[in-house]
Amino acid sequence: MGFLIFILSVIWFFVMYKLYGGWIAKKIFKLDDSRVTPAHELEDGVDYVPTNKWVVWGHHFTSIAGLGPIVGPAIAIMWGWVPAVLWVTLGTVFAGAVHDFGSLVVSMRNKGKSIGELTTRIVGPRAKYLFMAIIFFELWIVIAIFAMIMGILFKMYPQSVFPVWMEIPIAITLSYMVYKKGKNLHTWSWIALILMYVTVFIGVFIPISLPNPVVTWLWILMIYAFIASTLPVETLLQPRDYINSHELLVAMGLIFVGAIAAVIADPAHLNYVAPTFNPTPKGAPPIWPFLFVTIACGAISGFHSLVASGTSSKQINKESDALLVGYGGMISEGILASLVILAVAAGFGALGKGHEAGVAAWTQHYANWASAKGLGAKIGAFVEGSTNMMMYVFGKSKFVHDLLATIMGVFVVSFAGTTLDTATRVQRYIIQEVGDSLKQNWLKNKYVATLVAVASALALALVKPDGTGALILWPLFGTVNQLLAALALLIITVYLVRKRVNPWIAAIPMIFMVIMTAWAMVMNINNYAKSHNGLLLTVGTIVFILMIWLIIEAITVLSRAKKFTEGEMD
């Protein structure tokens, strides 16, 4: 049953990519290859670089994915597999992909400006600073959290340390061979991938552990993020993300083959061991509205608009490539989220001990909301479920288990690293744009802006001596992230209204996300007040007020949008 639902979900995604995505590209955004993209118009060899569409897709997909489509479904499965599957399959197609595609196109047609900077042109100057404050706040948390997460993952999977860091010279070599020597991209990307898995095999034998691992890795990763995010995108960002995209395809292929093997071994395997619908898990918030905040990446996530308008729009070679990168990138993430649901909702059954043992293992792992929320539990559920399925193909020895777990560990850490790099680079863009608006030239310097981005995130992480300071604000992240998604959809809606194009493809998901996010934020603020958590209560209230303010600004603009002529904006 579980495997069949996954296959049907994949078919749904491919069909809707061709039909709905193709219709939006042709009839709504009217993609036109005769237009000059920012990558050509502003080519600088650092950020604006015309790039093969599959390389941009690899960068975009691995940047937006990160750990989001893994941890979100791994938690939300507590409400049952039906709500999780429905939100991922419907949300991806009608909300997330439209959000990502729209953010990419609007930025691409406005010189690759970020969604925050675009707010000035589309909504107004007051809204710009409100939007940028929300974006800075989100990226501030993201950079600190993902650096911390990578430290925790290196501690959980020490075998992954060697291959993850060896990916850097492999990626730089790939860049050199393709961009400097003119070698074939596909041939050398597969060579790079093979070398990557050689390092994974070696990593099993040389696990690397550091003293005080989280804090130590925090410092190392922040230094790395500073260097990586100031390099030209084609030097490290693009080739490493392209390798990661291939790594994802391999991981998904292995899990898929493992799922088939598990079903063949015992048709009862990969039946769902998670409940069909469980509206009141022990200790969990209500499914409405928190399902739509918990599963963000994998359905819709505001962070994606920052990637689409921050880095991806500056690399698009021709307008038609935006369909694959924007809409197709989100469809790929929906497939990944569906695979995660299969692993955490049915993979526990692939233990070689029958369906009942799988139900018992799932029930123990998801005993209550608190146990499911822990980072180790989220990632552990995915890695365990995936490894269980793959062992039906490769055997059940300890070495095979360790090797497969390392493959999945490297996959997870690599995606976290991609998000860290991209978030740092996008935060640099935001700081530079603020510096330009305030006429502060020193903030426009890419090294100064990057230092501000990295130093502020490191300071947040080190508020606690163990490097987990960002967790203080983490409870706000889900609602802030979905608020950003709603606001990005609002910007796209205003853009379409001004262009005299049907805006409902963006307006309907925007209204839905505003309602769900506002509902969740009000409930959270009420809980913070009851628990006397002054910090979260204050910050949450401020963010909520900013949201209301921005919505009022946008409604005002929408009311007079038809007065604008099409020539007033691209």
pLDDT in tens, 419-438: 888 889 989 988 998 888 78
The pTM of this model reads 0.83
Residue 540, in any domain of the structure: no
Output the pLDDT for position 1: 67
Assigned token pair, 344 = 């955490």
Taking the CA atoms of residue 451, residue 452, residue 457 and residue 459 in that order, the dihedral angle to the nearest 10 degrees is: 100
Give the least confident one: 157-166, 355-364, 476-485, 534-543.
Answer: 355-364
User: Is 412's pLDDT higher than 70?
Assistant: yes
More confident residue, 239 or 269: 239
**Three-state DSSP class for 424?**
helix
Residue 318, in any domain of the structure: yes
**Three-state DSSP class for 51?**
strand
> Of how many residues is the chain composed?
570
User: What is the number of domains present in the chain?
Assistant: 1
Give the pLDDT mean for 260-280: 76
51 strand-pairing partners: 316
Find out whether 1 and 345 touch, Cβ atoms under 8 Å: no
DSSP state of 28: I
The C-alpha atoms of residue 489 and residue 484 are separated, in whole angstroms, by: 9
pLDDT classification of 281: cutoffs 50, 70, 90: confident
Rg of the chain in Å (alpha carbons)? 22
CB neighbourhood size of 311 (10 A): 26
Residue 195, in any domain of the structure: yes
Q: How large is the greatest C-alpha to C-alpha distance in the chain, in angstroms?
A: 70
| 203-230 core/surface letters (b: 16 or more CB in 10 A; e: else) | bbeeeeeeeebbbebbebbbebbbebbb
Residue 562, in any domain of the structure: no
Find out whether 531 and 524 touch, Cβ atoms under 8 Å: no
Give the pLDDT mean for 279-304: 88
pLDDT classification of 195: cutoffs 50, 70, 90: very high
The C-alpha atoms of residue 303 and residue 299 are separated, in whole angstroms, by: 12
The C-alpha atoms of residue 240 and residue 59 are separated, in whole angstroms, by: 8
User: Is 566's pLDDT higher than 70?
Assistant: no
User: Is 24's pLDDT higher than 90?
Assistant: yes
* Each residue's pLDDT tens digit, 100-138: 999 999 999 999 988 877 877 777 777 777 778 888 888
* Each residue's pLDDT tens digit, 436-459: 878 888 988 999 999 999 999 999
Residue 267, in any domain of the structure: yes
User: Is 376's pLDDT higher than 60?
Assistant: no
Residue 55, in any domain of the structure: yes
User: Is 347's pLDDT higher than 80?
Assistant: no
Output the pLDDT for position 352: 53
The C-alpha atoms of residue 183 and residue 175 are separated, in whole angstroms, by: 10
Q: What percent of the chain has pLDDT over 70?
A: 92
User: Is 488's pLDDT higher than 70?
Assistant: yes
Give the least confident one: 270-279, 426-435, 556-565.
Answer: 556-565
* Each residue's pLDDT tens digit, 310-330: 889 999 999 999 999 999 999
Give whichever of 193-202, 264-273, 359-368, 476-485 has the largest mean pLDDT. Answer: 193-202
User: Is 13's pLDDT higher than 50?
Assistant: yes
pLDDT classification of 255: cutoffs 50, 70, 90: confident
Residue 539, in any domain of the structure: no
Output the pLDDT for position 29: 95
User: Is 349's pLDDT higher than 60?
Assistant: no
Output the pLDDT for position 372: 58
DSSP state of 318: S
Find out whether 77 and 345 touch, Cβ atoms under 8 Å: yes
Give the pLDDT mean for 203-219: 92
The C-alpha atoms of residue 261 and residue 392 are separated, in whole angstroms, by: 6
Residue 560, in any domain of the structure: no
Q: Helical H runs in 366-437? A: 369-373, 375-394, 398-437
Residue 223 domain boundaries: 2-463+481-497+507-516
